Amino acid sequence: MRLIKSTIVLTAEQASALSEGAAEVLASTDRSGYIAQNAKRWRQLRSVLESASGGKCWYCETARTRSDYAVDHFRPKLRVAECPAHPGYWWLAFDLSNFRLACTYCNERRVSEQSAGGKANHFPLVIESQRCMDQNGDISAEQPILLDPLNPKDPPLLKFLLSGDVLPRVPETLDAIQFRRAAESIRIFHLQETRLVRGRGEKIRYALTLMKAVNVMAEGIPLRHHITQQIRSMLELTGEHSGAIRDALAQEIENFIDPEEGAA
């Protein structure tokens, strides 16, 4: 997970579609039906959300391969797994601030050989009694368990290892709530899925290999410059797993300086 800093700008048509949807679902007598029939209003924003993350899932940082991303509703729109009596945050179904871009493994319930996960309708809170039950409640009182890629404080709660594994950065004995938030996010977003861990680890170790290669090369040779540029590309927002690479190799990146071009 990497912080999404980009400002999401909609066209007038896209903004109007969301505004109309928000007004109409409020007046509808069949809100679930209306939301289901008007999914195109948020699905048309996939390319906009992709641009904000460099074309990657906002939760796991994998680049799309053979399947489309989904526009995930951070607060579920129709039901909440942790609160059966909740009708879902239907009033946020067309709210841009509630949209996150998610791959299939992060968004839908999946079971692999060694792990299970997928956000689906999950939205646990630190204190369940503070859950906002309708459009008149105080949503700011909620304390979400799930880490949010739009919250600057959340991505750093995940610690990535050279192996590609991810674990809570803060020990449970130091801060039980932050530990729980990270642990639950890893489980629900399926961040320890076997193939994801393997692919993430390969990216991290490859970046480390490139840094070591540059460090033993003489200055000024073309190959050194080429590899340096490759490392820079891997660390940019568009680089797959760049957030994990930056975290796992934080010390190496800090010490990685190209005399020709400055700090990487």
Does the residue 6 lie in any domain? no
In this prediction, residue 86 carries a pLDDT of 97
pLDDT at position 259, please?
40
Q: Is residue 245 scored above 70 in pLDDT?
A: yes
Query: Which residue range(s) make up the domain with 49?
Result: 12-192
pLDDT 10s digits, 156-171: 999 999 999 999 999 9
Residue 118 has a pLDDT of 82
Percent pLDDT > 70 in the chain is 93
User: pLDDT grade, residue 219 (50/70/90)?
Assistant: confident
Give tens-digit pLDDT for 2-48. Answer: 999 888 999 999 999 999 999 999 999 999 999 999 999 999 999 99
**Is 25 found in the same domain as 145?**
yes
pLDDT score recorded for residue 256: 74
Q: Please give the distance of CA 184 from its chain centroid, rounded to a whole number.
A: 14
pLDDT band at 67 (very low <50, low <70, confident <90, very high): low
Does 170 share its domain with 209?
A: no
- Give tens-digit pLDDT for 182-203: 999 999 999 999 999 999 999 9
Among residues 118, 220, 127, 206, the alpha carbon closest in space to that of 162 is found at: 206
The answer to whether residue 68 scores a pLDDT higher than 90 is no
Please report which confidence band the pLDDT of residue 255 belongs to, taking 50, 70 and 90 as the band edges. confident
Same domain as 95, residue 31: yes
| 233/178 same-domain check | no
pLDDT band at 216 (very low <50, low <70, confident <90, very high): confident
| pLDDT of 173 | 97
> According to the model, what pLDDT value does residue 39 have?
96
Same structural domain, 126 and 254:
no
Shared domain check, 25 and 147: yes
Mean pLDDT of the chain: 92
- One domain, residues 152 and 235: no
- Say yes or no: 187 and 204 in one domain: no
Q: Do the domain assignments include residue 183?
A: yes
- Taking 60 as the threshold, does the pLDDT of residue 257 lie above it? no
**249 and 146 fall within a common domain:** no
Mean pLDDT for the stretch of residues 78-88: 96
pTM of the model: 0.90
How far, CA to CA in Å, does 116 sit from each of 16, 109, 186, 188?
38, 8, 10, 8
Same domain, 231 and 168: no
Q: Report how many domains make up the chain.
A: 2
193: tokens are 């899925």
Asked if 71 and 45 count as a contact pair (C-beta separation under 8 A), the reply is yes
Last residue of a domain, one of 145, 167, 192: 192
3-state SS track over the chain: CCCCCCCCCCCHHHHHHHHHHHHHHHHCCCHHHHHHHCCHHHHCCHHHHHHHHCCECCCCCCECCCCCCEEEECCCCCCCCCCCCCCCCHHHCCCHHHEEEECHHHHCCEECCCCEECCCCCCCECCHHHCCCCCCCCHHHCCECCCCCCCCCCHHHEEECCCCCEEECCCCCCCHHHHHHHHHHHHHCCCCCHHHHHHHHHHHHHHHHHHHHHHCCCCCCHHHHHHHHHHHHHHCCCCCCHHHHHHHCHHHHHHCEECCCEEC
